[in-house]
Amino acid sequence: MAVRAMNSCTIFRAAASPPLAAVRSCLHQFRIAKQRKYSKLGFSFSVLPSSIRNVGSIRSFSVQSLVDTVLLELETMRKSSKVRAANKLATSGELLQHKLEKTTLKKGLLIEFKKDSERVLLAVTQKPDGKKNWMVFDQNGFTISIKPQQITFIVPGIKDFDHTEIAEFVQRAETNLDPTLLEFAWIELLEKNKSITVQELAEMMFGSAEPLESYCAHLLLSKDHIYFTVLETKGSFSVYGPRPAIQVEELLQKKLAKEAAEKEFQDFVHLLKSAKEKPLHSKPPKSSWRNEEKIWHRIESLQAYAIDDCRNDEQKKTAGTILKSMGLAKTASAALNLLIDIGYFPVHVNVDVLKYNIRTDYSSDVLSAAESLLSESSDQDKKDRADLTHLKVYAIDVDEADELDDALSATRLQDGRIKVWIHVADPTSLVLPGSVLDKEAMRRGTSVFLPTATYPMFPEKLAMEGMSLKQGEVCNAVTVSVVLSSDGSIAEYSVENSIIKPTYMLTYESASELLHLNLEEEVELRILSEAARLRLHWRRQQGSIDTATIETRIKVANPDDPEPSIKLYVENQADPAMRLVSEMMILCGEVMATYGSRNNIPLPYRGQPQSNIDTSAFAHLPEGPVRSFAIVKIMRAAEMDFRKPIRHGVLGLPGYVQFTSPIRRYMDLLAHYQVKAFLRGDNPPFSSGQLEGIASMVNMTTRVARRLSGSSLRYWILEYLRRQPKDKRFSALVLRFIKDRTAAILLVEVGLQASAWVSVGVNVGDEVEVKLEESHPRNDILSLKEVLR
């Protein structure tokens, strides 16, 4: 009687010569590529004890005699009537034809069919459904119609199968599967170069071709990707052949490699889950994820996925597989949150810094060049510098400024006119066009100022020690001096190399306080403020447009902490000290445009034609942010020319050149290169065409930096709002209506534009009160609600 062998390796066949299942139950370590060669195939197996004691009804055999006995038994079985094929199997085509003649679909057959791309089910045929389809009752208890093409196997030897027994049949089949039996069958079939059908394989492995054994053989073959290949298929029937030994060896190696890779991947997933569950202070440091190359490769793929910067499909696939294994959606936000949860990124990581590929450090070559400049301290313009150290010099900037580009002096001439000096730091006394440091500055385009960090255009030490203006120290500068007419226009001007000795380093707040105190000993500061008022009045007469509004600055201490300290500053650009500085910078820009034009110097001249703007149309709006916002909405984009000045309508100037921030802005540095060369009597280093080419590259990086600064500022304002008490109310100005009663508003306390529904009767320019509904900085969500009075 032929009986099956179970995974428990108990022998069920009570026969003199065992089937392969019985052999397998005794030879637990019978494997390919072991110690002793097997026949002509060149394979060897583990050497077992010289005899195998009785198991069930199987006698003791030596390894060699047992194998020989198995082979002899199989050969005998081939010749017996139990096996449908003769000694030499018929061709696969003949065999399939033979099978097809005996397997017409009819009611009561147990079939396997493909439900979809991933699922295969058993079912019992019920009745035809049309000309070709069949109604079947599947193992899940559903009656459905299937196409003949969906059928993958018809279990042989079954008539009128009871569909209620499908589940038990499946369970018994799964219990009976032992993939190692295929190894033994493959060895013999390869030795004899024979093909085989499912039923023949069942007979060979289990000693029976009964329905359950045949289905088990089918399952083993359908799941096998190593030992057998399909020679021919017709409908749901196939003939299989053993793969060549070399191919099997290659496939086994690939399988082992795949299993090792899967284990390694699961270990990585376990590592992620472990790190995710740890408290914040116990999470592994960021550097630890770089210790192993494969781990770093996966983390790098996650990071690229999080910032939408995957270099290839492999990175996308890797990140997607990780997210799926962690039970997460395949989205950039899910990847980012995972990296935060494992401690790789801080809670408030600025992904835009990574996304925009912002340069946050310097190469060793750049740092070395900076150190060399500091140690040499050469100045090719030393002999030509005017000594202005006798002047009282005010440097006014924000309190956290890392380097100072500009400073101011003023006096009243005997004829009552005002003379001002705008002193600008002179980095070109150190850095030459085309040098390592110049190229690095060009690539950066600008210093990047964020609430959490500053990424300077020049290395910090060089900028602070070699270029920046410093209080109480003699500093190199380029000084623009201007004598103003009584109406605020330029009466006289000069441009020269100089040395100065800054007297005061003031913040805008302290400068405003000094102006308010009106101290007699600070008469120069009062004169500067008077000059600024004259200039503002003159520019307005020339058609300038006042776009002053409120401006927000944020400084974040310890940004890597989950709850870092946030300091928020809201500054009114119409503040006296801010007006003073901005008017003097604008004045310097006008002088440099005039100077460049009169001396035919190619410069980055800036303009903004606004001839069609009728400011009187906005007179009904309150002066300040509301009016400025309305005007800015219709302003045209700025323009540049590199040969001659162009009108800057917004500033009310015939020409304008940015010149006062050469340490922070590369376009200002370019203007310095050009002007300094002219002062020395040399030709400018760049033609107008070259300037235009450089400007196109620099302006792109500058726009990126501006977007980054804006998004970072908004993030931290939202984080600031998130921390505010739920019942706190905020004052808001209505700037315009977007749709129906949804208005664009300006939160005055934080300087943020947002939107909110406002009640009927509220108009543009009105002030309303709103309260915070929700604020999610990471998702850029801010919801506000009007507080009805």
Give the pLDDT band of residue 783 (cuts 50, 70, 90).
very high
Question: In this predicted model, what pLDDT tens digit does every residue of 416-470 receive, in sequence order?
Answer: 999 999 999 999 999 999 999 999 999 999 999 999 999 999 999 999 999 999 9
How confident is the model at residue 395, as a pLDDT?
96
Q: Considering the chain, what is the average pLDDT of its residues?
A: 87
How confident is the model at residue 611, as a pLDDT?
58
How confident is the model at residue 22, as a pLDDT?
57
Q: Which amino acid, one-letter code, is at 684?
A: P
Return the number of other C-beta atoms located less than 10 Å from residue 208's C-beta.
21
570-593: string of b/e by CB count within 10 Å (b at 16+)?
ebbbbbbbbbbbbbbbbbbbbbbb
How confident is the model at residue 233, as a pLDDT?
87
Q: In whole angstroms, how far apart are CA 589 and each of 90, 595, 656, 728?
A: 97, 10, 5, 44
Q: Which of 391, 386, 385 is nearest to 410 (CA)?
A: 391
CA 754 to chain centre: 27
The fraction of the chain above a pLDDT of 70, given in percent, is: 86
The fraction of the chain above a pLDDT of 90, given in percent, is: 76
How confident is the model at residue 463, as a pLDDT?
95
More confident residue, 76 or 465: 465
Instruction: Flag whether pLDDT at 93 surpasses 80.
Output: no
Question: In this predicted model, what pLDDT tens digit does every residue of 544-586 receive, in sequence order?
Answer: 988 888 899 999 999 999 999 999 999 998 899 999 999 999 9
More confident residue, 543 or 786: 786
DSSP SS3 for 88: coil
Q: In whole angstroms, how far apart are CA 34 and each of 29, 71, 370?
A: 9, 20, 65
DSSP SS3 for 739: strand
More confident residue, 484 or 233: 484
DSSP SS3 for 508: helix
Main-chain phi, psi angles of 499, to 5 degrees: -125, 140
Return the number of other C-beta atoms located less than 10 Å from residue 503's C-beta.
17
Strand partners, 782: 775
Q: Which of 490, 514, 485 is nearest to 422 (CA)?
A: 490
Question: In this predicted model, what pLDDT tens digit does every residue of 690-740 receive, in sequence order?
Answer: 999 999 999 999 999 999 999 999 999 999 999 999 889 999 999 999 999
Least confident among 52-56, 123-127, 138-142, 151-155: 52-56
Beta strands in 413-524 (DSSP E): 418-425, 448-449, 454-455, 475-484, 490-500, 504-507
Please give the average per-residue pLDDT across 88-116, as a whole number. 68
Structure tokens, 318? 């890797």
How confident is the model at residue 235, as a pLDDT?
79
Please give the average per-residue pLDDT across 615-632, as a whole number. 83
The DSSP symbol for 466 reads I
Please give the average per-residue pLDDT across 391-396, as a whole number. 97
Rounded Cα gap, residues 183 and 572, in angstroms: 83
Give the pLDDT band of residue 400 (cuts 50, 70, 90).
low
Question: In sequence order, which residues have a C-beta less than 8 Å from that of residue 64 and are 6 or more positions away?
Answer: none
Question: In this predicted model, what pLDDT tens digit does every residue of 147-192 receive, in sequence order?
Answer: 999 999 999 999 899 999 999 999 999 998 988 899 999 999 999 8
Look at strands 504-507 and 639-641 and give their pairing: unpaired
Question: In this predicted model, what pLDDT tens digit does every residue of 749-769 receive, in sequence order?
Answer: 999 999 999 999 999 999 999
Return the number of other C-beta atoms located less than 10 Å from residue 225's C-beta.
11
Q: Which of 339, 503, 550 is nearest to 407 (CA)?
A: 503
Please give the average per-residue pLDDT across 333-360, as a whole number. 95
Q: Please give the model's pTM, rounded to 2 decimal places.
A: 0.77
Rounded Cα gap, residues 468 and 424, in angstroms: 9
Instruction: Flag whether pLDDT at 73 surpasses 80.
Output: no
The DSSP symbol for 211 reads H
Angle at 707 between CA 701 and CA 708, to 5 degrees: 90
Structure tokens, 410? 């003023």
Rounded Cα gap, residues 661 and 404, in angstroms: 8
Cα dihedral 177, 180, 183, 184 in deg (nearest 10):
-80
